[in-house]
Amino acid sequence: MTLWWGASPAGTDPQLTELEKDILGRFHVAYSDKGFPDISELQVEYREHTGAGRYTYLGHPGVVALPDGWHGVGNYCHFEMDGLPYGGTYGLFIEKQKIKILELSVIGECEWYGSENSWRIADPKTGEFSD
Protein backbone atom coordinates (compact mmCIF):
# COMPACT_ATOMS: atom_id res chain seq x y z
CA MET A 1 0.00 0.00 0.00
CA THR A 2 1.37 3.40 -0.95
CA LEU A 3 0.19 6.69 0.48
CA TRP A 4 0.68 9.67 -1.78
CA TRP A 5 0.87 13.09 -0.19
CA GLY A 6 1.21 15.94 -2.64
CA ALA A 7 1.93 14.93 -6.22
CA SER A 8 0.75 11.46 -7.20
CA PRO A 9 0.45 9.46 -10.43
CA ALA A 10 -3.27 10.28 -10.58
CA GLY A 11 -2.73 14.02 -10.56
CA THR A 12 -1.48 16.79 -8.36
CA ASP A 13 -3.13 17.08 -4.95
CA PRO A 14 -5.32 18.79 -3.87
CA GLN A 15 -6.98 18.90 -7.28
CA LEU A 16 -9.58 16.36 -8.32
CA THR A 17 -8.62 14.35 -11.39
CA GLU A 18 -10.88 14.42 -14.44
CA LEU A 19 -12.19 10.92 -13.66
CA GLU A 20 -12.92 11.91 -10.05
CA LYS A 21 -14.75 15.03 -11.28
CA ASP A 22 -16.81 12.95 -13.71
CA ILE A 23 -17.84 10.48 -11.01
CA LEU A 24 -18.39 13.03 -8.22
CA GLY A 25 -20.46 15.17 -10.59
CA ARG A 26 -22.83 12.22 -10.91
CA PHE A 27 -23.10 12.00 -7.12
CA HIS A 28 -23.89 15.72 -7.02
CA VAL A 29 -26.74 15.24 -9.52
CA ALA A 30 -28.09 12.24 -7.60
CA TYR A 31 -27.81 13.74 -4.11
CA SER A 32 -27.86 17.54 -4.42
CA ASP A 33 -31.21 17.52 -2.61
CA LYS A 34 -29.35 15.90 0.33
CA GLY A 35 -26.73 18.66 0.42
CA PHE A 36 -24.10 16.95 -1.73
CA PRO A 37 -21.71 19.79 -2.60
CA ASP A 38 -20.72 20.92 -6.06
CA ILE A 39 -17.41 19.36 -7.09
CA SER A 40 -15.77 22.79 -6.85
CA GLU A 41 -16.29 22.62 -3.07
CA LEU A 42 -14.56 19.26 -2.62
CA GLN A 43 -10.92 19.20 -1.56
CA VAL A 44 -8.58 16.25 -1.92
CA GLU A 45 -6.87 15.52 1.39
CA TYR A 46 -4.77 12.66 -0.01
CA ARG A 47 -4.88 9.59 -2.23
CA GLU A 48 -4.05 6.00 -1.44
CA HIS A 49 -3.16 3.79 -4.40
CA THR A 50 -3.59 0.09 -3.68
CA GLY A 51 -2.47 -1.41 -6.98
CA ALA A 52 -6.03 -2.57 -7.63
CA GLY A 53 -7.69 0.78 -7.15
CA ARG A 54 -7.53 4.09 -5.37
CA TYR A 55 -9.00 5.74 -2.31
CA THR A 56 -9.35 9.51 -2.57
CA TYR A 57 -9.90 11.08 0.84
CA LEU A 58 -12.03 14.21 0.61
CA GLY A 59 -13.02 17.22 2.66
CA HIS A 60 -15.79 19.76 2.15
CA PRO A 61 -17.78 22.49 3.92
CA GLY A 62 -21.29 21.72 5.13
CA VAL A 63 -22.95 18.38 5.67
CA VAL A 64 -24.63 15.72 3.54
CA ALA A 65 -27.94 14.23 4.73
CA LEU A 66 -27.02 10.63 3.94
CA PRO A 67 -26.54 7.78 6.43
CA ASP A 68 -23.08 6.55 7.33
CA GLY A 69 -21.72 3.91 4.98
CA TRP A 70 -20.99 3.26 1.32
CA HIS A 71 -23.17 4.82 -1.37
CA GLY A 72 -23.52 4.61 -5.13
CA VAL A 73 -25.49 6.66 -7.62
CA GLY A 74 -27.74 3.79 -8.69
CA ASN A 75 -27.62 0.08 -9.33
CA TYR A 76 -24.69 0.31 -11.74
CA CYS A 77 -21.56 2.09 -10.53
CA HIS A 78 -19.20 0.89 -13.25
CA PHE A 79 -16.74 2.44 -15.64
CA GLU A 80 -14.75 1.20 -18.62
CA MET A 81 -11.21 2.43 -19.17
CA ASP A 82 -8.54 1.78 -21.78
CA GLY A 83 -6.00 -0.56 -20.19
CA LEU A 84 -8.46 -2.16 -17.74
CA PRO A 85 -9.91 -5.25 -19.48
CA TYR A 86 -12.93 -5.50 -17.17
CA GLY A 87 -13.22 -1.88 -16.11
CA GLY A 88 -13.87 -0.78 -12.56
CA THR A 89 -16.42 0.21 -9.97
CA TYR A 90 -16.79 3.21 -7.69
CA GLY A 91 -18.43 4.09 -4.40
CA LEU A 92 -18.49 6.88 -1.86
CA PHE A 93 -18.13 6.55 1.91
CA ILE A 94 -20.05 8.93 4.19
CA GLU A 95 -19.28 9.30 7.89
CA LYS A 96 -20.95 11.72 10.31
CA GLN A 97 -22.62 13.56 7.40
CA LYS A 98 -19.28 14.13 5.67
CA ILE A 99 -18.01 12.74 2.39
CA LYS A 100 -14.87 10.88 3.40
CA ILE A 101 -13.69 8.55 0.62
CA LEU A 102 -14.20 8.04 -3.09
CA GLU A 103 -13.17 4.46 -3.87
CA LEU A 104 -12.25 3.29 -7.37
CA SER A 105 -11.75 -0.48 -7.70
CA VAL A 106 -10.53 -2.51 -10.64
CA ILE A 107 -12.62 -5.52 -11.67
CA GLY A 108 -10.56 -8.68 -12.19
CA GLU A 109 -6.91 -9.37 -11.57
CA CYS A 110 -5.47 -6.28 -13.17
CA GLU A 111 -3.06 -3.85 -11.54
CA TRP A 112 -3.84 -0.14 -11.73
CA TYR A 113 -1.85 2.67 -10.20
CA GLY A 114 -4.03 5.60 -11.11
CA SER A 115 -3.29 6.39 -14.76
CA GLU A 116 -6.49 7.78 -16.21
CA ASN A 117 -6.85 6.71 -19.81
CA SER A 118 -9.96 7.18 -21.93
CA TRP A 119 -13.04 6.08 -19.94
CA ARG A 120 -16.81 5.77 -20.08
CA ILE A 121 -19.14 5.61 -17.10
CA ALA A 122 -22.22 3.38 -17.17
CA ASP A 123 -25.67 4.85 -16.79
CA PRO A 124 -26.41 4.21 -13.09
CA LYS A 125 -29.98 3.11 -13.82
CA THR A 126 -29.47 0.88 -16.86
CA GLY A 127 -25.81 -0.13 -16.73
CA GLU A 128 -25.44 0.79 -20.39
CA PHE A 129 -22.51 2.75 -21.77
CA SER A 130 -23.02 5.54 -24.28
CA ASP A 131 -20.42 7.31 -26.39
pLDDT over 90 (residue 116): yes
pLDDT over 50 (residue 109): yes
Q: Which of 128, 110, 104 is nearest to 19 (CA)?
A: 104
pLDDT over 90 (residue 103): yes
> Would you give the DSSP letter of residue 118?
S
Are 28 and 92 spatial neighbours (Cβ–Cβ below 8 Å)? no
What pLDDT, in 10s, does the model give residues 39-83? 999 999 999 999 999 999 999 999 999 999 999 999 999 999 999
pTM reported for the whole predicted model? 0.88
